Amino acid sequence: MTGSPAVTLYPLGGLGEIGLNCMALVSGDSMIVVDCGLMFPDDSLFGIDVVIPRFDFILQNRDKLKGIVLTHGHEDHIGALPWLMRSCDAPLYASSFTLALAGKKLEEHGLKEFTTCLPVSAGDTVTLGDFKVTFFPVCHSIVHGFALGIETPAGRIVHTGDFKIDRNPLDGHATDLDAIKRFAGDGAMLLLSDSTNAEREGFALTEREIKAALGDIFATCSGRIVVTLFSSHIQRMQEIYDLAHATGRKVAVSGKSLFTNIEIARELKHLRVPPGTEASLEELASLPDEQVVLLVTGSQGEPLSALSRLAYGEHRQVKIQKGDTVILSSRFIPGNIRAITRLINRLYKLGAEVLYERVQAIHASGHAHADELRLMLKTVSPKFFIPIHGEYRHLVKHARIAVSCGVAPERALVIEDGQPVTFAEGLIRLEDAIPVEHIYVDGKGVGDVGVTVLKERQLLAGEGLVIVVLVVDEKSGELTFGPNILSKGFVFEQHYSHVLEDAKCIVLDIYENVPPGQSDLLKERIRSALRRFFRKILERDPVVVPLVITL
């Protein structure tokens, strides 16, 4: 295939996990990057703030980089930008709303002034070296997201971004299948499509249905209404404002990320607050209950969020009372379920009624279900198909859907991060793997907290730590200080002073039986004897740190 027009796709994240979405496309001397997302760490990643992709491939080819295209403004698509843009100065192409969110992020890292942000609108086409990228509006749980039509020397590629197909959309909330169909013509060369909900049959609920369900609640509630939702879900906020307006209520907002996003969305005219629908937190107190809506952060049970402060009675301006209705118009992300249900229980104890997805249809996923994926496949009618944005199981199932829609089985490719694929003259070739990785960010450290440090944190978390200090006189070999024992996260010392006393005796005993000068042997003996002792006496296995100082 050498010499003929070719394009190679380099998946750097998002093919094999939910989040971390990032992909490079290379043709000749041109490279573009689509999305630059992060992933939030699971509980086993102690102390890690966020996970980002390994950018080596992009950086090694940075001279070819013509631009970074962002499909939409969610963290799993823009969140890793600050770590890429430190070492890279390509322009960003995205909707003005996505760029506003990305800009906030770059600003926090002091990178904004060095970044060129080029807003694009629906239908725009930009030329980036060998690539021509057209932006198609898609419906998703954030406004102003795009699917991409990418013309390459080897054929046309459709990249869906994250999408659903709202069959009966509220204003400005549709996926432009017609435009995508026009771009694909009699069939695109390749479709890259969102697999998040490939396991869910049928169609996702639509925002119109959600608005109707919320409308029923607004219509029947006589008390105050508190709503929490994802802070980037501008469309849902619009529904809340509209319903408040229709039922004679005013909306107050509590929580920083909501304030920020509402401000951006209003500025860009994605959110229209009906006149007379706004109130400050202070004004709420003077309004009758039936005129109050409070929009708050904290849908995932975050400890310091407004909802959490309400549930624990720690909100400065508002106290939850009998008659209040709290609506969680959001998904329970699995790792957060206990935190969220804890809040729900607290709110019930305070006398509130609490409504959530489990008991009422008040949230809709932003990702296409299987029937919507089929529609996209029929629309694009691709020769090749690669499922993206999903764990391995989602990719497998999406590939099956593609085959059921007429893609030849050998052309529905389940590949993972790091597996490049070249397309040329209607053929494909799997290239040698490139290094990809989940890079852990802890504070300012990027990638330095690896397996060793995490393992130590895990051990410390499990059973705590015991420090043993001895000072030995170098000449005489006499003990001049200690053994002293102190612990952190091990036992409540007052309860277990006898155990710690016994531990000292064990250390003394070892000290007397190790020849002077062999402090490594002494440390090793202390460590293993104490671990044995604690396991036997307490069935616990703390990290034991012996400090032997020879003076």
Binding residue ranges for Zn(2+):
72, 74, 76-77, 140, 162, 389
Contact 156, 354 (CB under 8 A): no
Binding string, 221-260, against its own copies, x = CB under 8 A?
A: ----------------------------------------
Outline where 234-336 has alpha helix (H): 234-246, 256-267, 281-284, 306-311
Indicate whether 4 belongs to the interface with its own copies (CB under 8 A): no
Find tokens 């003394």 and name the residue. 508
Residue 281 vs 460, nearer CB to its own copies: 460
The secondary structure of 349-394, three-state, reads: HCCCEEEECCCCCCCCCCCCCHHHHHHHHHHHCCCEEEEECEEHHH
Q: Check binding of 524 to its own copies (CB under 8 A).
A: no
Residues of this chain, 46-65, that bind its own copies according to CB under 8 A: 46-47
With binding defined as CB under 8 A, does residue 478 bind its own copies?
no
Among 256, 319, 338, 378, binds its own copies (CB under 8 A): 338
Spatial contact of 249 and 291, defined as CB atoms under 8 Å apart: yes
Q: Which of 194, 242, 324, 417 is catalytic?
A: 194
> Per-residue x/- mask for its own copies, residues 180 to 209, rule CB under 8 A?
-------------------x----------
Alpha-carbon distance of 117 to 422, in angstroms, equals 30
Q: Does 465 engage in binding with its own copies (CB under 8 A)? A: yes
66-74, 135-143, 216-224, 483-491 -> range binding its own copies (CB under 8 A): 483-491
Chosen residue from 122, 396, 403, 508 binding its own copies by CB under 8 A: 396
Q: Which of 144, 159, 367, 394 is catalytic?
A: 367
- Span of 170-178, 292-300, 418-426, 451-459 interacting with its own copies by CB under 8 A: 451-459
Report H helices in 120-231. 177-184, 207-220
Q: Which residues contact 452 (CB under 8 A, 6 or more apart)?
A: none
Q: Tell the smallest beta-carbon distance from residue 390 to its own copies (Å).
A: 10
Residue span binding its own copies (CB under 8 A) among the ranges 226-234, 235-243, 314-322, 542-550: 542-550
Q: How many residues bind its own copies (CB under 8 A)?
A: 64
**Main-chain phi, psi angles of 151, to 5 degrees:** -85, 125
Q: Check binding of 430 to its own copies (CB under 8 A).
A: no
Known catalytic membership, residue 159: no
404 binds its own copies (CB under 8 A): no
Which range touches its own copies (CB under 8 A), out of 78-86, 237-245, 311-319, 487-495? 487-495
Give the containing element (helix H, strand E) for 342. helix 337-349
| 485 residue type, one letter | I
Q: Is 403 in the site for its own copies (CB under 8 A)?
A: no
Nearest distance, CB of residue 338 and its own copies, angstroms: 5
Nearest to 35 by CA among 44, 17, 22: 22
Residue span binding its own copies (CB under 8 A) among the ranges 23-31, 126-134, 141-149, 351-359: 351-359
Q: How many CB atoms lie within 10 A of CB 127?
A: 12
Q: Which residue ranges make up the annotated binding site for substrate? A: 231-233, 363-367
Distance CA 381, CA 156 (A): 11
Is residue 483 within 8 Å of 469, Cβ to Cβ? yes
Q: Distance between CA 212 and CA 405 in Å, rounded?
A: 33
Where do the H-state alpha helices sit in 67-118?
A: 75-78, 81-85, 96-108
In angstroms, the CA 330 to CA 229 distance is: 5
- Reduce the DSSP state of residue 411 to 3 states and report it: helix
Strands 6-13 and 384-388, by their bridges, are unpaired
Q: Is 367 designated active site?
A: yes
For residues 96 and 484, which CB has a smaller minimum distance to its own copies in the complex?
484
- Binding-site residues from annotation: 47, 49, 72, 74, 76-77, 140, 162, 231-233, 363-367, 389, 442
- Asked whether position 445 contacts its own copies by CB under 8 A, the answer is yes
Q: Does 464 bind its own copies (CB under 8 A)?
A: yes
Contact residue for its own copies among 181, 374, 411, 457 (CB under 8 A):
457
* CB of 13 or CB of 137, closer to its own copies: 13
Q: Closer to its own copies by CB, 248 or 351: give it.
A: 351
Are 183 and 150 in contact by the 8 Å Cβ rule? The answer is no
Using DSSP's 3-state secondary structure scheme, residue 536 falls into: helix
Q: Hey, what amino acid is at 501?
A: E
213 contact partners, CB below 8 Å, separation of at least 6: 360, 361, 362
Give yes or no for residue 476 binding its own copies (CB under 8 A). no
Say what angle helices 96-108 and 256-267 make with each other, to 10 degrees: 140
Radius of gyration of the CA atoms of the chain, in A? 29
Question: Is residue 371 a contact point for its own copies (CB under 8 A)?
Answer: no
Q: Binding residues for its own copies, per CB under 8 A? A: 16, 42-43, 46-47, 199, 334-335, 337-338, 341, 344-345, 348-349, 354, 358-359, 391-393, 396, 442-445, 448-450, 452-454, 456-465, 467, 469, 471, 480-481, 486, 488-492, 495-496, 537-540, 543, 545, 547, 549, 551
What positions carry a catalytic annotation? Answer: 194, 367
